[in-house]
Amino acid sequence: MSYSFLQRLGWCNAFLQQLSFDELCSDSTVGHLARVTAVHRNRVEAIGVEGERSIVVPAPFQPVSQHLAVGDWVLAEDASEHYRLRRILEPKNRIRRINHGLPQVIAANVDYLWIVTSANEEFNVKRLQRYLALAHEFAIVPVVILTKIDLCADLDDYLARVHAVGADHVHALSVHVPATLGVLQNYLAEGTTIALVGSSGVGKSTLVNAMFAMTLPTREIRTHDARGKHTTTHRELFFTDGGVAIVDTPGMRELQLYDGEQGIERTFSSIVELARSCRYGDCSHENEPGCAIRQAIADGAIAQAHFDNYRKLAREEASQQRRSLGAHAVKEHTRAYFKKIHSHNKLKY
């Protein structure tokens, strides 16, 4: 067994380069490398060349949920009768969020974020924007998947709304029309990692089952869950026969942006761009003269709703910061942030 076997688990050169000379020379290293598939309180489950194993997580990496998540690559070591975590390899990216005021890692080393939303009442542009912002923030390619199109009469309408938020990869499908699933094959190269997000009931597990001939539990077998409780309760990573790692997380409905500035700027880049042309550097875009944003809204160049949404997320981001940094720090932070956005104005005038 060698490093090439690990590639189908998502291993790549970026991880190989993190091994020391001694580690590379040691015959035991490859057997001690593993990818985390489930996280528990004091240990993680992981898979490596020798298959599944349980790895005890010692004190420096506690609490586990703040240090590592499914998808992380770890180097373990032998400890009497079990394996113990020695170090976590620097991940390509990490999906994080705030849970009860504490940062929490949800998944690591994710290539695509499949944002699943159904073409019915569940569809919500703001939620979609949040997920897009999340993907951009964590440097993960977002793929918007509109499900249940068999039930929908106005698909074009939904597609127009998805495209309006600036999503690049958009696919509409129904698990009842197998031909519509084919396009997703493009994302399934061996060693790829995909995380699915979306509200409960939009069809994430059903989609995975249909794509990979799997049998994840879906809503049908839990019909008493009329209140929209999540069918998928364990945050886990598993591999398909083709060597694709799937993270099917609980719906992340209470998703809060963590350190989300960059994500907001990407999703709302047109607004951030425009704000640079406002006459005043500290324009609040309410009723100042020479406000480029109000002008653009009046001209129909940007939608009022899009701007409102930007404001809401920016405000949420600020209150998130306030909670984690304290009121004074956030005031400073907000000042610096708007200064940065408006620094171009200063150069012009």
Ligand X SMILES: Nc1nc2c(ncn2[C@@H]2O[C@H](COP(=O)(O)OP(=O)(O)OP(=O)(O)O)[C@@H](O)[C@H]2O)c(=O)[nH]1
Residue 115 binding partner per list ligand X, Mg ion, Zn ion, none, with a CB distance cut-off of 5 to 8 Å that depends on partner kind:
none
Q: Which of residues 13-42 bind ligand X (CB under 6 A)?
A: none
* Shortest distance in whole angstroms from residue 184 CB to ligand X: 13
Select from 34, 104, 37 the least CA-distant residue to 70.
Answer: 37
What is the Cα–Cα distance from 188 to 40, expressed in whole angstroms?
28
Site string for Zn ion, 290-329 (x = CB under 5 A): -x-x------------------------------------
Under 8 Å between Cβ of 113 and 195: yes
283 contributes a contact to Zn ion by CB under 5 A:
yes
> Which 198-217 residues touch Mg ion, going by CB under 5 A?
204-205
Q: Is 299 marked as a binding-site residue? A: no
Question: Using CB atoms, what's the residue nearest to ligand X?
Answer: 203
Does 206 bind ligand X (CB under 6 A)? Our answer is yes
For the bound state, the minimum distance from the C-beta of residue 24 to Zn ion, rounded and expressed in Å, comes to 56
In the list Zn ion, Mg ion, ligand X, none, the entry touching 176 (Cβ below 5 to 8 angstroms by class) is ligand X
- Decide: is 231 part of the binding site for ligand X (CB under 6 A): yes
Answer whether 33's CB lies under 8 Å from 2's CB: no
Binding mask 124-153 for ligand X (x = CB under 6 A): -----------------------xx-xx--
* Chain Cα centroid distance, residue 141: 9
Site string (151-190) toward Mg ion, x via CB under 5 A: ----------------------------------------
Token pair listed for 70: 């499914």
Quickly list DSSP for 197-263: E--TTSSHHHHHHHHHT-----GGGGTT-TT---S--S--EEE-TTS-EEEE----TT---SSTHHH
For residues 320 and 316, give the distance between their C-alpha atoms in angstroms, rounded to a whole number.
6
- What phi-psi label fits residue 109: left (phi over 0), alpha (psi between -120 and 50 degrees) or beta? left
285 binds Zn ion (CB under 5 A): yes
Pick from 199, 112, 221, 214: which is nearest to 148 by CA?
199
Residue type, 55: I
What tokens were used for 241?
């026969």
Is 147 annotated to bind a ligand? Reply is yes
**Exactly one of 129, 147, 232, 249 binds Mg ion (CB under 5 A); which one?**
232
Does residue 117 belong to the site contacting ligand X (CB under 6 A)? no
The verdict on 231 binding Mg ion (CB under 5 A) reads: yes
119: helix, strand or coil: coil
113 forms bridges with which residues in the sheet? 142, 195
**Considering only CA atoms, which of 270, 306, 307, 340 is closest in space to residue 161?**
306
C-alpha separations of 252 from 97, 195, 327 in Å: 9, 12, 27
> Could you tell me which stretch among 39-47, 70-78, 169-177, 274-282 binds Zn ion (CB under 5 A)?
274-282
Of 219 and 342, which CB lies nearer to ligand X in the complex structure?
A: 219
Cβ neighbours of 296 (radius 10 Å): 18
Q: Does residue 219 interact with ligand X by CB under 6 A?
A: yes
Position among 109, 117, 129, 174 found at the interface with ligand X (CB under 6 A): 174
Q: Does 283 belong to an annotated binding site?
A: yes
Binding site for Zn ion (CB under 5 A): 278, 283, 285, 291, 293
Residue numbers in the known binding site for Zn(2+) are: 278, 283, 285, 291
The binding site for ligand X (CB under 6 A) comprises 147-148, 150-151, 174-176, 198, 200-206, 218-220, 230-232, 251
Binding-site residue ranges for GTP = 147-150, 198-206
Query: Can you say which residues are annotated as belonging to the binding site?
Result: 147-150, 198-206, 278, 283, 285, 291
